[in-house]
Structure 1
């Protein structure tokens, strides 16, 4: 209800740039969800990848995250729209080589590793740019709603893409199914090309200082911002545990539990509906219990929902159980993810948005190659199920970290507080 004579504030949906960004994110996630089913099926079932080859594939796919700091610095220096379009075109080109090589009968694990590296690099650039662009196209008090809508659309797209991937793998095979992902990146590039963003509001003038100095300034800024620093540390430890599990998650279901590609796709697709519900309810949950508790609950639920996987066996009953556990995990992961992303964006200085996000990517996703290598060493010393258990136990650590921080008492996004000696051009 508004006061007489006073216009209602436009919703985030009324902003064309936001709608195009949301469409771009949804279409690429939908396509990538197809590949999330097709590529593991292609590697494990058709190319007969060993556990060592699965480890190398996961390691190389995560390796580009180690240079995310450069992507963040470039994002803060230069217009973001061209960077987004270039990353989409690079991903589309790499994916198109998979069905082409399969058709020629020359597809190998080595090529899949190269494609995974290109996709990883494109994602690093895309994430640093798109997440840091959002605060420039919506108002500060719209961040939670904007992130929630993005999360809901992404979850729907991910779920639809996973089910489409399962259908495509069954109908045309995993190699041809990858074409759907390539097309999604091309469509995303078209949507981004149509987006009009005042780039003066999203990038600063390139200063005389070098890129390494920009990176150092960004790292110091994050280190001196307690809220951002704590959330990123929690994300990094959670990510490491999840990455150990994800190295063999698909392999465990497809090979050890005998899950078919179609059933694997259904587990991921139906489980993904939890993410849709979480995104839709995230603002309401955060408003009711506070943004801090919403973040912490999401972190706490993750290790608990891994328990069914650790004791699962073959058969429909366990497939239903794993689907339900995944749905609960993704519900709270999305609530927590939407809340912590809005919190970081809300308290971060606009000039450091790209570098803040790239610092998060470096510590969370950048640790995944090490996690994949750790998983490979663990599986040699133990077995696949025990390796999954180690990954689940590590997810308890970030919960303790958050509970011991002031984040547990946060009820709303606090006002942005300038951090001394972290401004552009200011000597440390």
Structure 2
């Protein structure tokens, strides 16, 4: 028996070990197709929003609406998902999202899109996504062997990032050739393709007793909260995940202003920054299984510490006199930062799958994702307030130093030794 347990606990680190995980590979295929469409949609939809609203504040409001279902609804959606077949939820939500995106494209073609319609469609899409994310998370243990969580998460993240790079790199050309509505129709098509792929997945989902009304739902939600509170490792992981998201907020919130005002760059630099960051994340995800000799805690803390130090150095880049060298240094720093973030993502995802019981994975996943998502708008508000009182490079310096100290403190948390 001891020998058997030892074999089961031995973690796989080679991508070749996934060749017999055919159902999980189908899931990766669906995720990759989705990611390609989403990366096109991210640019096309933003362009349409600004074109229709002609207002930065309205654009920000519509984008903010995107967070509401994630933060408020997803924890409850996770409870519901735990009680019904995950595969069915994924298929229906992908079809629903495809229909909504296609509707926006068709309305745009007929000059019938209004800011209210965009806000409503954004809310509906995010609501469906609030169910899709915990379902996609909860189905993984039914498709992937426990000892392959790290390498499985790494492959999924790597391929998704590669498709994101392709989407970001081709978005401009796609929009120029077939318009923003054409890019949205491609995104809608990827949702439909994803739903077809998911229908071919064979998952061992045992039927459960369905939730019996609001009281049962909130009771199970409370069970999920108690599960998190009773697990010191999960609480520590939530804090780590929030720090990781906080670390990305300054670049997403202030990156454009920094590039234009401080680096004196243009749209090309903004595009290069995005490609460098995502490329680094893909590389970081890919190499994570190879770093098996380093403890997961040490690896995660080091990557967070290093990326925070790099962010604090943004205050120095505008001092480089030659513009080309200034841009090369910036893009290089973003690529290296992406590597560290990619490693953190894989370590976090694999640890979460290992330490959360399958029976509560949907609801705990919903709680976790809502908590981590809440860190983004909160961080953006803090960055906005800071930028009103100090120069943007100084904001990066302060944020970087703050995160460095947080990671140092988290390095002393004993519960993270099991990461």
The answer to whether TM tops 0.5 is yes
Q: How far has the Cα of 1:196 moved from its partner?
A: 1.4
Is residue 242–residue 391 contact of structure 1 (8 Å, CA) maintained in 2? no
Deviates more, 1:294-303 or 1:182-191: 294-303
- How far apart, in 1, do the equivalents of 2:326 and 2:43 lie? 19
177, 185, 195: which one aligns with 2:183: 177
Given the alignment of the two structures, is residue 14 of structure 1 paired with residue 25 of structure 2, yes or no?
no
What do the CA deviations read for 1:264-292 (whole angstroms, capped 9, x no partner)?
A: 3343224322122111111111x121111
Instruction: Name the TM-score, length of structure 2 as normaliser.
Output: 0.83
Taking the aligned partners of 1:310 and 1:109, their CA distance within structure 2 comes to: 38
- Give the corresponding residue for 1:351: 359
Given the two structures, how large is their TM-score scaled by the length of structure 1? 0.82
Pair 1:249 & 2:255 matched: yes
Q: CA deviation at 1:80?
A: 0.2
Check conservation: 2:101, 2:184, Cα contact below 8 A: yes
Report the 3-state secondary structure (helix = DSSP H, G, I; strand = E; otherwise coil) of the residue aligned with 1:196: coil
Pairwise mapping of residues 135-150 of structure 1 onto structure 2 (< 5 A)? Answer: 135-150=141-156
Mapped partners of 2:156, 2:336: distance in 1: 19
Instruction: Report deviation, 1:135.
Output: 1.4
Deviation at 1:403, TM superposition (A): 0.8
Match of 2:196 in 1: 190
Which 10-residue stretch deviates more, 165-174 or 69-78? 165-174
State the 1:54 CA deviation: 4.2
Aligned twin of 1:206: 210
* Structure 2: gaps (5+ residues): 1-11
- Cα shift at 1:325: 2.2
Q: CA deviation at 1:78?
A: 0.9
* Residue 59 (structure 1) aligns with: 64
Partner of 1:331: 339
Check the 8 A contact 2:232/2:415 in 1, yes or no: no
What is the Cα-based RMSD across aligned positions, in Å?
A: 3.1
Contact 2:306 2:340 in 1 (8 A): yes
CA contact (8 A) 1:241 1:393 kept: no
Shift of 1:386: 6.0
**Counterpart selection for 1:340 from 325, 331, 348:** 348
Quick check: 1:366 aligned with 2:369?
A: no
Once the two structures are TM-superposed, the CA of residue 217 in structure 1 deviates from its matched residue by 0.3
* Conserved 8 A contact 2:312-2:399: no
Q: How many Å apart are 1:144 and its aligned residue?
A: 1.1
Offset at residue 384 of structure 1 (A): 6.0
Could you tell me whether the CA contact under 8 Å between 1:40 and 1:250 is conserved in 2?
no
Q: CA deviation at 1:219?
A: 0.5
Given the alignment of the two structures, is residue 304 of structure 1 paired with residue 302 of structure 2, yes or no?
no
Task: Tell me how many residue pairs correspond in the alignment.
Answer: 399
Measured at CA, do residues 376 and 94 of structure 1 come closer, stay the same or move farther in structure 2, by a change above 3 Å?
farther
366-375 vs 157-166, which deviates more?
Answer: 366-375
Distance 1:251 1:184, change over 3 A: farther
Structure 1, unmatched stretches of 5+, are 1-8, 414-428
Q: Which of 271, 276, 282 is the matching residue for 2:282?
A: 276
Q: Cα deviation per residue 1:329-358 (whole Å; 9 max; x = unaligned)?
A: 221111111112111211211111112211
**Per-residue CA distance 1:370-420 (angstroms, 9 max, x = gap):** 44444555555667666666655554464134212125645xx6xxxxxxx
Aligned to 1:294: 299
Contact 1:27 1:188 in 2 (8 A): yes
Instruction: Say which is worse superposed, 360-369 or 318-327, in terms of deviation.
Output: 318-327
Which secondary structure does the structure 2 equivalent of 1:198 belong to?
coil
1:42-78 Cα shifts (integer Å, max 9, x gaps):
445775432x334323321111122221121112111
| Offset, 1:113 | 3.4
Deviates more, 1:234-243 or 1:126-135: 234-243
Partner Cα separation in structure 2 for residue 63 and residue 47 of structure 1: 20
SS at match of 1:199: coil
